[in-house]
Structure 1
Amino acid sequence: MGHPVVLIHGMWCTAGHLAKVNDLLAARGYDCRSLTLPGHVAGPRQSEEVGALSIKDYVQAALAFIREQNFSQPPILLGHSMGGLIAQRVAAEINTAALVLLTPAAPAGINSIKPDVLAATFPVFSRWGFWKKPHKLSAERLRLYAANGLHFSYQDKLISSLVYESGRALSEIAFWWADGGHATRVPAGAVRCPVYVVSAGQDKLTPASVVRKVVARYPGATHRHWPERGHWVIDDLDTEDMVHEIDGWLRPILTRATREPIKVARV
C-alpha cells in the first residue's frame, strides 16, 4: 500500500471535485482518501445544514476522518482553497508527512480581501446576517472568478455540481480579525512538516499576492507559481503536470521519512 494522502476540498465543493487529483496520485501509487466536509452532501436540506458551520467544525471533522483511517504512518495532507486552510489547521495538530496547498485560503493574520475577492463575494457580504446563512456563487460570478480559464462547457458542469457553503466559515476567513474564536489561526511554528504551495497568476479567489504570504509563513516551503492558471487548478489542462511535479517533490521526502522512527500522532 502506498503512502496515505488525505485530500480536503474547498468552498462550495465535495470530495468529488478532487477526483482528478485523487486519480492522478493513486496512479502514482499513493493511498488516497478524500472526505466530504460536514454539511456538504447535496440534498434538499443541505443549505440548512451547512449555513452556520465553522472552520473549527471542518477541522474537527478532518481530524476525526484521519483518526478513523488508522494510518500506520503520518499522512500527506492536500487541500485546495478553503481546504488548504483546513489542511494547515490540521497539520498544526497532528504529525504530518507533508503539506500540499493548492491555491489555499489564508490563515488569520493575512488580509485576503483583494478587489477581485470582494467583487466575487459582494452579493454574499451585502446580505444582513450573511455570517450565519448559506451561500453559493451565482453562475456568472463562478465563470468570472472561480472557473475563469476553463472551457465554457466544463463551467456549466461545474455550476450544476456545486453545493451551498457556510456564511460563518466565509466570515471567519475574510474577517479573521473580528473572530474571537480564532477559527483560522495557525500558531507560529506548529506546522513542522515540509510544505509545498501552488499559486496561480489568474486566481481571483485566492490571489497569488495572498498565497505568497501563506508561503512566507513556512520557512523552507516550496512555492510553485503558474502564471496563466486560475483558481481551479484541481481540474484544468495543467493538473496532470502539477501532480507530476508534486510527486517529484514528495518522493525524496518520503524516502527520508522511511529511514526515521515512526512518529506518534499529536492528538
Structure 2
Amino acid sequence: MDKVHSDKPTVLLIHGMWSDQNTLSDVKEAFVAQGYTADSLCLPYHVPKAEHTEASRAKLAKTRVQDYVAYIVEQVERLDAPPILVGHSMGALLAQLVAAQVPCDRLVLLSSAPPAGINGLSRSAIRTLGRNLLRFPLWKKVTEVGLSNVEYGIANAQSAAVQRDIYESCTYESGMATFQISIGSLLGRRSATYVNTQSIECPVLIVGGSADRITPITIQRSMAKRFGKQASLIEIENCCHWTVGGAYFPEVRVEIFQWLEAKANSQPHTG
C-alpha cells in the first residue's frame, strides 16, 4: 500500500475480470498524486497466465462472487476507518456488494458490471464474451479473452497499442463468477450479484462510457436510478469500457476528483 500523511480516507482499488492489481496502476497513481493512501487489491488466484498451474486454474474456476466479496470485506475490516472503494467492471459490482455489508466512505464505480435484475446480456456483451459462454459447464472452467475480444468490446475506443497492452496483461477468470454475473443479471434477490442499495449509506459515483460495449451506458443509467439521489452519474462521450487508462482516463480522473472534493465539502464521512 502506498501511504501518505493525510486525513483523507484510504482508497481500496478493485480490478475487474481477467485482470489483476496492476490493471488499475493509472488509477492508483492518480489517487496517490492527490494525497490519498491507496492500495490496489488482487482478487484470489488472479496471477499472470504464465504463473498459473493446473491446480490454481482449477481453484480459480470454482471461485464464486461471494468468495471475492468475502476477501474484500476482510481487507476493509482491517482498516481503521471506512475506505473509498474504487472498482472497475466486475470490481465495481463487487464494491457495491461489499458496501452493502460494511461501511464505506464513498463508492466510485467505473464501467460497472450489472447487478442482478439489470440485464447485462446485450448483443455486444455476448459478442465480447465470445466462446466463454459456450464452455460447459462454465462454472467449472476458467474464462479468458482474446485480442479480438479486447478490440471489439473492452477497448474499442483505444489505440491499437493500448489494446495490445491490455490483451497481453489479461489473465484467466473464474468461470463460476463469469456465470454468476452473466446469468445473475437476469435474476432477482436470489442471485449472488443482487445489490441491496438500501444497505449502502455512502455517496456513489457512477462513471460510464457512451461507447462501452460489454457494460453499456444503459446499465450505468439503470444503476443510477436504483440509487436515486445517492448517486451521481457521469457519462464520458465516445469512451469505451476502458475507463481506467488510455485516451479517456484524463477526463475520468478529473470527474472523479471533482466529485470527491464536492462531496467532502458538502457532507461528513460515513462511519
TM value normalised by structure 2: 0.90
Tell me the CA shift for residue 3 of structure 1: 2.2
Which of 88, 93, 97 is matched with 1:85 structurally?
93
Tell me the CA shift for residue 178 of structure 1: 6.0
Which of 159, 162, 181 is matched with 1:154 structurally?
162
Secondary structure of the structure 2 residue equivalent to 1:217: helix
Tell me the CA shift for residue 145 of structure 1: 1.0
Amino acid at match of 1:96: C
Secondary structure of the structure 2 residue equivalent to 1:101: strand
Secondary structure of the structure 1 residue equivalent to 2:76: helix
249-258 or 13-22, larger mean C-alpha shift: 249-258
Which of 103, 111, 114 is matched with 2:111 structurally?
103
Counterpart for residue 206 of structure 2: 197
Aligned residue-pair number: 259
Which of 215, 236, 259 is matched with 1:249 structurally?
259
Distance 2:166 2:197 in 1: 36
- The 8 Å contact of residues 12 and 40 in structure 2, kept in 1 or not, is answered as yes
**TM alignment of 1:125-144, pairs within 5 A:** 125-144=133-152
Tell me the CA shift for residue 180 of structure 1: 8.9
List gaps (5 residues or longer) in structure 1. Answer: none
Counterpart for residue 29 of structure 1: 35
Amino acid at match of 1:204: R
Distance 1:235 1:26 in 2: 16
Secondary structure of the structure 2 residue equivalent to 1:234: coil
Amino acid at match of 1:240: P
Distance 1:51 1:246 in 2: 33
- The 8 Å contact of residues 50 and 134 in structure 1, kept in 2 or not, is answered as yes
Tell me the CA shift for residue 181 of structure 1: 5.9
Distance 2:83 2:264 in 1: 10
Which of 17, 24, 45 is matched with 1:18 structurally?
24
- The 8 Å contact of residues 144 and 172 in structure 2, kept in 1 or not, is answered as yes
- What do the CA deviations read for 1:18-42 (whole angstroms, capped 9, x no partner)? 0001101110111111100001022
Distance 1:184 1:153 in 2: 34
TM value normalised by structure 1: 0.91
RMSD over aligned Cα atoms: 1.8
Secondary structure of the structure 1 residue equivalent to 2:198: coil
Counterpart for residue 234 of structure 1: 244
Counterpart for residue 216 of structure 1: 225
Tell me the CA shift for residue 102 of structure 1: 0.3
Do residues 173 (structure 1) and 199 (structure 2) align? no
Secondary structure of the structure 2 residue equivalent to 1:122: helix
Which of 32, 37, 46 is matched with 1:40 structurally?
46
Which of 192, 214, 221 is matched with 1:183 structurally?
192
Distance 1:130 1:5 in 2: 33
- The 8 Å contact of residues 79 and 87 in structure 1, kept in 2 or not, is answered as yes
- The 8 Å contact of residues 25 and 243 in structure 1, kept in 2 or not, is answered as no
Distance 1:230 1:206 in 2: 9
